[in-house]
Structure 1
Amino acid sequence: MDGRPSHEPGTPRMSRHDWWGIVLEAPDPRALARFYSELLGWEIAKEDADGAAIAPPEGVAYIAFQYADGYVPPVWPAQEGAQRMTMHLDFEVVDLQAAVAHALELGAREADHQPQENVTVMLDPAGHPFCLYVDGSGS
């Protein structure tokens, strides 16, 4: 992408300037950051009154959470006249049952509609859908 720097291999991550991420709106962004931090084992990299961000131990990606006044959670699956899901997160796991149990312990819930055998659609505490899946390719 024009305007983004390139870095030599081995450049320390905190001195890089090519970070990228996604931002989820939430009624309590700091609580949602703690949920995903515990779910993924990522550190809370930033936290203030309006939001928070988490980052993995390596790489330059992040998930941020920002306060949204009047937040309305999306529905899954889509329903006419209801707030539609505009994106969702996917996380590959090696033990789907254990990953689902862990997410439930942290406050997620399973969605009623489950479209695939190797995927479990979950709803985070703010209602955002996310998928836990195992590689169905057999490799």
Structure 2
Amino acid sequence: MTVAKTSVLVLDCAEPESLAHFYAELLGADIRPGDGFDMVEVVGGPGVHLAICRDHGYAPPSWPRPEDSQQAHLRILVAPEDLDEAEREAVSLGARPVSADAEEGPRDARLFSDPAGHTFTLAATGVKR
């Protein structure tokens, strides 16, 4: 018999409350206290559950620079016709575009960093990358 399990992606950062607000706004989710003093959770509809944890010695990843690994990233799926609007929304909330390649023109997957430096991708549903 398999034990029922669930998972949550935990992002470390220096200021968990502000990063939780970023992701709550971006994902249309709610913020709630997490397990422990330095943990905040972002919970929304199906598939939306993040935890943000304070790391007092946090240093953001430098990906795509080769000296550090990417560590982890989120892939946020949106309808293809909503990709441009989702990008505008993310940037207005404090996301920064990250150029990992020299691809020109319209793209169906776009890479960003959140205010704490974690990378995430906005991708049109059905995109395999």
Range into which the TM-score falls when normalised by the shorter chain: 0.7 to 0.9
State the number of aligned residues: 121
Question: Which structure exhibits the higher relative contact order, with contacts defined as CA atoms closer than 8 Å and separated by 6 or more residues?
Answer: 2
Bigger CA radius of gyration: 1
- Consecutive unaligned residues of structure 2, counting only runs of 5 or more, are none
Aligned to 1:10: none
Map of 1:10-25 to 2, 5 A cutoff? 18-25=5-12
- Taking the aligned partners of 1:70 and 1:62, their CA distance within structure 2 comes to 24
- Taking the aligned partners of 2:93 and 2:32, their CA distance within structure 1 comes to 20
- Taking the aligned partners of 2:9 and 2:58, their CA distance within structure 1 comes to 17
Aligned to 1:121: 111
Counterpart among 40, 44, 51 of residue 64 in structure 1: 51
- Consecutive unaligned residues of structure 1, counting only runs of 5 or more, are 6-17
Map of 1:31-110 to 2, 5 A cutoff? 31-46=18-33, 49-58=37-46, 62-80=49-67, 83-94=68-79, 95-110=82-97
Aligned to 1:13: none
RMSD: 2.2
Shift, 1:84, TM fit: 1.9
What is the SS of the residue equivalent to 2:87?
helix
Whether contact under 8 Å (1:76, 1:111) holds in the other structure is no
Large movers: runs of 4+ above 3 Å: none
Q: What is the TM-score when the length of structure 2 is the normalising length?
A: 0.81
